[in-house]
Amino acid sequence: MNMFRELLKSPQNHLVEQAVSDGRIPIGYSCSFVPEAFLMADRLVPVRLHAPGVAGTEIADIYLSNFICTYVRSLLEFAVDDRFDLIQGWVFVPSCTHMQRLYDNLEYLKKPAFNHILDVPRKVTEATIAWQAEELRTLADKLSTHFGVDMSDDSLMKAITEWNNFAEVIQSIGELRKKPFPPITGTEFQALLMAALVSPKDLILPKILDFRKEIEQRDGVGEFRSRLMVMGSHLHDPEFIRVIESQGGLVVADLFCTGSIPGFKPVEISGNPIRSLAEHSFKKTLCPRMMEDFDRRLETIIDTVKEYRVDGVVIEIIKFCDLWGVDSMPMVSALRNEGIPVLKLEREYSMGGEGQLRTRVQAFIESMDK
């Protein structure tokens, strides 16, 4: 497990370095609407952007308004500090205005050779899926021209197959969390998941398979007072989950941008790979930016609560996150109406205030009479 944590210490870990040495091309992205499989074609390597151990955002604060979230601030700070120097291309989604400002400022300050905005509609209809496919085709052509990579249908099909194999392994580990005595803690799962998102899939897969073998031998991970689900904004640092679990709440399910539910669904191939990926990005993402999608999100949470025997849901929101912040208001009421206890936490992107977090979580678990 330390191995996965080690891979999270730097925004570009040694597996990314290895990929670069092998002539591969890391592409940074920050949103789940970018299908990972798409960025696995040919020599491309998708690297989820994160800013581990960010200590301050003094430079980013000059360029971004006070109401931009600390995730975006942290990424810009790392970018201007050249902490992403191995990233050869950037793909953003205008999922929120904060992320658009990141794209703009990156363009202004760093002038990356490859910086792309993938426009994603806010509704899912036949027309918007076609639009999304068109957007992906434009990106494919741009990547192909700029990097000389093969973005043909055959190449994309190969990438999708590789992604599907990978996603199935992650899912199989996630499924173990449904057990009455799960053999994996939420902290371990979070470290594994994040390490998987920031590393080349082919290089990290053998390590994940070894870890799966190890945990399949386990009887459980000890006594916990309750089973929790965590959902909300970008959550990258496993420390956050560790603090929650230190209070006796085993995190058995997650639903956030980098979470496994429903993020690691295999791509259903329906002939055309671009079209399949367009459909897939809507299916695998449960983001409050989407319109008329509240009921699907609520339903997924309720189903997860039942399947994973969740006692209570922790909603975590990065301060100033428009999407999750607004969504959480009706979501808290809707879940409570279903008899599901909810704790809402506001946090910054980087881990801080451990004492306060402990108090809140402990009180929440106590209030569930656990």
Partner 1 sequence: MTKKYFGGCDVGSTTGKAAILDENSSIVGTSIVPSEIDPEITSVQALEKACAQVTDLSSYKDLARIVGTGYGRNEVAFANENISEISCHAMGAFYCNRDIKTIVDIGGQDVKTIAIADDGSVLEFAMNDKCAAGTGRFLEAMSRIFRMDLEQFSVLSLNARKIIPITAQCSVFAESEVISLLARKNPPEEIAAGIKAAVSKRCFSLLKRIGMRPLVTVTGGCAKNQGLIKSLAKRINMEVTALPVDPQIIGALGAAVFAGRNGREQE
Binding site for partner 1 (CB under 8 A): 353, 355-356, 358-360, 362-363, 366-367, 369
Q: Tell me how far, at minimum, the Cβ of 255 lies from partner 1, in Å.
A: 22
Question: Closer CB to partner 1, residue 161 or residue 362?
Answer: 362
Nearest 5°: the CA angle 271, 272, 276 is 95
Q: Tell me how far, at minimum, the Cβ of 340 lies from partner 1, in Å.
A: 14
Q: Nearest CA to 86 among 163, 3, 21?
A: 21
Q: Tell me how far, at minimum, the Cβ of 344 lies from partner 1, in Å.
A: 9
Q: Write b or e for each residue in 85-102: b if 16 or more Cβ atoms lie within 10 A of its Cβ, otherwise e.
A: ebbbbbbbbbbbebbebb
Q: Tell me how far, at minimum, the Cβ of 319 lies from partner 1, in Å.
A: 9
Q: Tell me how far, at minimum, the Cβ of 362 lies from partner 1, in Å.
A: 4
Q: Nearest CA to 248 among 228, 273, 265?
A: 228
Q: Tell me how far, at minimum, the Cβ of 364 lies from partner 1, in Å.
A: 8
Q: Tell me how far, at minimum, the Cβ of 250 lies from partner 1, in Å.
A: 18
Count CB-CB contacts under 10 A for residue 111: 8
Q: Tell me how far, at minimum, the Cβ of 234 lies from partner 1, in Å.
A: 19
Q: State the Cα–Cα distance between residues 160 and 87, nearest whole angstrom.
A: 22
Q: State the Cα–Cα distance between residues 217 and 176, nearest whole angstrom.
A: 12
- Burial grade of 161 (CB within 10 A; 0-12, 13-18, 19 or more): middle
Question: Closer CB to partner 1, residue 172 or residue 356?
Answer: 356
Question: Closer CB to partner 1, residue 82 or residue 369?
Answer: 369
Are 234 and 318 in contact, with CB atoms under 8 Å apart?
A: yes
Q: State the Cα–Cα distance between residues 350 and 236, nearest whole angstrom.
A: 9
Question: Closer CB to partner 1, residue 306 or residue 319?
Answer: 319
Cα→Cα distances 100→46, 94, 96, 103, 330, Å: 20, 5, 7, 5, 26
Question: Closer CB to partner 1, residue 138 or residue 356?
Answer: 356
Question: Closer CB to partner 1, residue 61 or residue 307?
Answer: 61
DSSP 213: H
Are 248 and 114 in contact, with CB atoms under 8 Å apart?
A: no
Compute CA 211 distance to the chain's CA centroid, rounded to the nearest angstrom: 20
Q: Tell me how far, at minimum, the Cβ of 85 lies from partner 1, in Å.
A: 34
Q: Nearest CA to 267 among 255, 280, 286, 282?
A: 280
Question: Closer CB to partner 1, residue 118 or residue 315?
Answer: 315
Are 231 and 314 in contact, with CB atoms under 8 Å apart?
A: yes
Amino acid at 53: G
Question: Closer CB to partner 1, residue 218 or residue 336?
Answer: 336
Question: Closer CB to partner 1, residue 270 or residue 359?
Answer: 359
